[in-house]
Amino acid sequence: MRRRTAPAPAGPGLADLAGDQRLRRLELTVTRRLDGLLQGQHRGLLPGPGSEIAGSREYRPGEDEVRRMDWAVTARTTVPHVREVDADRELSTWLLVDASPSMEFGTAELDKRELSVAAVAAIGFLTAGTGNRLGAQLLTPTGLRRFPARSGRTHLLGVLRTLLAAPRTGDHDERTVPPDPPDLAEALAAVQRVATRRGLVVVVSDFLDGLPEHHDEPTPWEPALRRLAARHQVLAVEITDPRELELPDVGLITLVCPETGRRREVWTGDEALRRRYASAAAAQREQVRRALRRSGATHLPLRTDRDWTADVVRHVHAQRRLAAAPAAARGGVA
């Protein structure tokens, strides 16, 4: 049983979402809280580059990505140029949602699995539009569950309903659990195989899968994420819980690893232990941030004890300001 000790967030509680009426309430919450972000021709969460070539301009150090270099024009003019592209008006979005045992942890109003459903709802409604398609893959201990890319509200609600009803630890028949279940790296590779059209890839996870003990070592899923980011816009939604970041003084507790089932009794009254725990947790989070940054993914951190809708709004506004800055600079020069 989860112990819920943190204050409830301002966002809606998803623990009670089970039926179509509650899914409808979630839709209304998302659309109302994100009002103004659901209109227009920009891509919802990551407005920007697109794929249609619209010309070239001189390279601006510190602003432009090297992978957008127009080498043909650069060779002709001997001056570095980058390609300019028009934003796509029809968007294909692929979701990879981590439903591994570590995502079942939670000490706030939401647990990490429930928050991942909220993130998928926000992404789905933000990227919904005429011609836009959404596909999903759900990573579970029994394997990958795939949803083909389709458009429409009915398809999105079907994905959300499946995520809410996905089995948790203890619900699986042990005979159906493979001895070597797929990991995050394998799931990312599977997304790359089906996401043949350039678009948006959203990975919702705690990114704890296979983290090496030495923080300077690369994570096992980083190469696969980097390959995805070379072709697609990638949004990494990192889900965390406050108890993963700091240990409260609550006396003697038993910690259980959700992935392996290992148990350890810990005396939380030890102040030095709590400091070491917080320091190790901060280093682990920084390890994930560095890996995501090296991979070229945009990072959206969400916490179970925060207002997730406010965090999504801040992220979208920040991305749109970044996307508008080069255009404003070009207008000023002109």
Model pTM score: 0.77
Mean pLDDT of 69-93: 78
Tokens of 88: 């796509």
Instruction: Tell me 266's DSSP state.
Output: E
Q: Give the tens place of pLDDT for each residue, 11-56.
A: 444 444 445 666 777 777 777 776 665 554 444 455 544 444 556 7
Whether 254 and 265 have beta carbons less than 8 Å apart is answered as yes
Q: What is the pLDDT of residue 38?
A: 54
Q: Give the tens place of pLDDT for each residue, 192-222.
A: 999 988 889 999 999 998 888 887 788 999 9
Give CATH 3.40.50.410 domain extents, the chain.
20-38+89-245+283-333
CATH architecture for residues 20-38+89-245+283-333: 3-Layer(aba) Sandwich (3.40)
Q: Tokens 């709004």 sit at which residue?
A: 313
Whether 56 and 84 have beta carbons less than 8 Å apart is answered as yes
Whether 239 and 119 have beta carbons less than 8 Å apart is answered as yes
Whether 254 and 248 have beta carbons less than 8 Å apart is answered as no
Tokens of 328: 């404003």
Percentage above 70 pLDDT, the chain: 77
Q: Give the tens place of pLDDT for each residue, 6-15.
A: 444 444 444 4
